[in-house]
Structure 1
Amino acid sequence: MSAVSTSPLENRVAVVTGGARGVGELLARKLSARGARIALVGLEPEELKRVTGRLHTDSDHWHADVTDPEAVARVAGEVKERFGRVDVVVANAGVASGGPFAASDPDSWRRVIEVNLVGSAVTARAFLPHLAETRGYLLQIASLAAITPAPMMSAYCASKSGVEAFAHCLRAEVAPQGVGVGVGYLSWTDTDMVRGADRHDVMRELRARLPWPANKTYPLSPAVDRLVTGIERRSAHVYGQWWLRGMQPVRGYLPALIGTVGGREMNRFADRLDEVPTGLVGAGGEADEHARNTLRH
């Protein structure tokens, strides 16, 4: 019997936001390999078309900004019409920025919150009625940044802490309808976003000084395999790297620790902080800025 035929995802419909690259792209491919039909949502039509063309199952893609409630509601309706059902939604779309908060670009800082937190809520609001029909599952992609604060990442940490709390609240609310809600945690994983941040010397060196194992960049494929397993099991918590589970019992001690150690490191880099760009990082950040600039003009 094939691997596809033994998966609980066979013939199910999975929506993946931020599906043009990185975690979203590989997750779509691995879910499709297990028999799921995929609905990709994102800001890059040509990239989404390319990813869709590589999938193993009947799949499709939609161009939409996850912060736009009308656009996402339209997509939810069209996905249901196209496939007849929605079983899994992965709120994965995200952007990041770096640098000291006081010197940050206000628009970029706000955009991180809007895409990562507000966009996840917009996605959930649009698709929950369809998930209720199938007693489906919503996976919210969070981060190590939800567990521990980090200097130079205020917007990203705030947004990921927010989506973690949002998902925990939502889990209890939708349980009577048979809908499962999970939170996926990833450390530094080899994606365009992380590579984009690492292009800047200060950010790369600051991250390298983190204690092991948080100072490493981890391969993408094993992390996504863990997400797929979590989706199949409808897990409440999914850890892309094995050691992240062990962070949960000690997370209450981390703010004080980071405040002390992080402050020392910030002092070390004080004369170089003005080198750090404050806009969105990586190819996904560039695509987001391009899409918004196109709308303005």
Structure 2
Amino acid sequence: MHDSPDGRRARSAHAHPLHGRVAVVTGAARGVGEALARSLSGVGMQVALLGRERATLLKAAEALPGRSMCVECDVTDRTALADAARRVERELGPASVVVANAGIAVSGPFDRTAGELWQRVIDVNLTGSANTARAFLPQLTATRGYFLQIASTAAFGAAPMMSAYCASKAGAESFALSLRGEVEPAGVQVGIAYLHWTGTDMLTGIDDDPVLAALRRNQPRPARRVHSAAQVAQWLTRGIARRSRHLYAPPWLRWCQPLRPLFPALVARTTRRELRRPDGAASSSGTVLGAGGRADWNSYRASRSAPPADP
């Protein structure tokens, strides 16, 4: 009797070390977060999707093969995250894996980017990651679980016109390294994922940005390749199953770690010509990248302009 492909996949997922456990993914409405939620569900995890875009979040959750739930939640709101953590534990059980993935990016000169917009990137990417860890650490301690911080090669070498994003990702990396030393004695592992060019809506229109286009154009051919969110999610899932301290997407990025002291000078040299053009990128203003980032910024501005609730 021949086994069906579906039967083999079901048994393979059941044998997976993550099968039956609970995962939480922030920024799960689209992009890497949505792809990772799908990948973790595919290996048998119960997944809680957290994000700002309710309709998109519900659609992503409904498409998962396994048990899931979604919570509309702003990672900069500690009270909302604490409520989300209680809901996850009540409906799915304590989390064994928490992925701090929520992030937004702004491209443009520092002095032409609104201070509030610049601050929002830091609040979501850095403070939001710390808030996520704070909300779910009690569950991770109980399960001796795994916290994954999504960082970026932006932490390797800061790029002009991306000051908030690069600062936030470097800060998120440092936060995760500090947290690792604190929670390892309790059995909680902390991983850091370094993502390179990934095919999400944040990357849409990259070739229209002269500085980012110059950076990509001057990289070696393998480094210019854009990897799909699904492929990145597969790499991350393997790393999560191994409780890896460092995850790289693509995997060859691990060989760049020893070269990090060289990258700031290389990036500056590569972008110098574009920045000196009088009609170039330096004359533009700060622009939110991607539909997810715009949704977050619009929701944030709407909440700031809403009248206060009646006492």
* TM-score, normalisation: structure 1: 0.94
Q: Indicate which of 254, 263, 266 corresponds to 1:254.
A: 263
Distance 1:120 1:218 in 2: 24
Q: Counterpart amino acid of 2:227?
A: Y
Structure 1 match to 2:46: 37
Distance 2:301 2:166 in 1: 25
CA-CA distance at 1:274 after TM superposition? 5.4
Say whether 1:230 aligns with 2:239: yes
CA-CA distance at 1:259 after TM superposition? 2.8
Structure 2 CA distance for partners of 1:289 and 1:114, relative to 1, 3 Å:
same
Distance 1:247 1:264 in 2: 25
**Does the CA-based 8 Å contact 1:200-1:276 persist in structure 2?**
no
Structure 1 match to 2:291: 283
CA-CA distance at 1:281 after TM superposition? 1.2
Distance 2:298 2:263 in 1: 36
Distance 2:71 2:21 in 1: 18
Structure 1 match to 2:206: 198
Structure 2 match to 1:211: 219
CA-CA distance at 1:270 after TM superposition? 3.7
CA-CA distance at 1:221 after TM superposition? 2.0
Distance 1:150 1:214 in 2: 16
Structure 2 match to 1:185: 194
Structure 1 counterpart SS, 2:126: helix
Distance 1:8 1:140 in 2: 20
Structure 2 CA distance for partners of 1:185 and 1:201, relative to 1, 3 Å:
closer
Q: Counterpart amino acid of 1:289?
A: W
CA-CA distance at 1:51 after TM superposition? 0.7
Q: Counterpart amino acid of 1:156?
A: Y
**Does the CA-based 8 Å contact 2:107-2:288 persist in structure 1?**
yes
CA-CA distance at 1:78 after TM superposition? 1.2
Q: Hey, which of these two has a bigger chunk of strand by percent?
A: 2
Structure 1 counterpart SS, 2:256: helix
Q: Counterpart amino acid of 1:202?
A: P
**Does the CA-based 8 Å contact 2:151-2:194 persist in structure 1?**
yes
- 5+ long unaligned stretches in structure 2: 1-7, 307-311
CA-CA distance at 1:128 after TM superposition? 0.4
Q: How is 1:75-90 mapped onto 2 (pairs within 5 angstroms)?
A: 75-90=84-99
Structure 1 match to 2:27: 18
Distance 1:279 1:265 in 2: 17
More deviation, 243-252/14-23: 243-252
Identity, in percent, stands at 47
Q: Counterpart amino acid of 2:213?
A: E
**Does the CA-based 8 Å contact 2:106-2:288 persist in structure 1?**
yes
* Structure of greater Rg: 2
Say whether 1:53 aligns with 2:62: yes
Structure 2 match to 1:149: 158
Q: Counterpart amino acid of 2:70?
A: H
Q: How is 1:261-272 mapped onto 2 (pairs within 5 angstroms)?
A: 261-267=270-276, 269-272=277-280
Structure 2 match to 1:107: 116
Structure 2 CA distance for partners of 1:261 and 1:201, relative to 1, 3 Å:
closer
How well do the aligned residues superpose, as a CA RMSD in angstroms? 1.6
Distance 2:246 2:278 in 1: 37
**Does the CA-based 8 Å contact 1:203-1:276 persist in structure 2?**
no
Structure 2 counterpart SS, 1:181: strand
Structure 2 match to 1:66: 75
Q: Counterpart amino acid of 1:240?
A: A
CA-CA distance at 1:277 after TM superposition? 4.3
Structure 2 match to 1:5: 14
Instruction: Deviation per CA, 1:232-256: give whole Å up to 9, x if none.
Output: 0000000011221111011012222
Distance 1:243 1:210 in 2: 18
Distance 2:36 2:278 in 1: 39
- 5+ long unaligned stretches in structure 1: none
Structure 2 counterpart SS, 1:271: coil
Structure 1 counterpart SS, 2:279: helix
**Does the CA-based 8 Å contact 1:88-1:138 persist in structure 2?**
yes
Distance 1:186 1:40 in 2: 20
Q: Counterpart amino acid of 1:192?
A: D
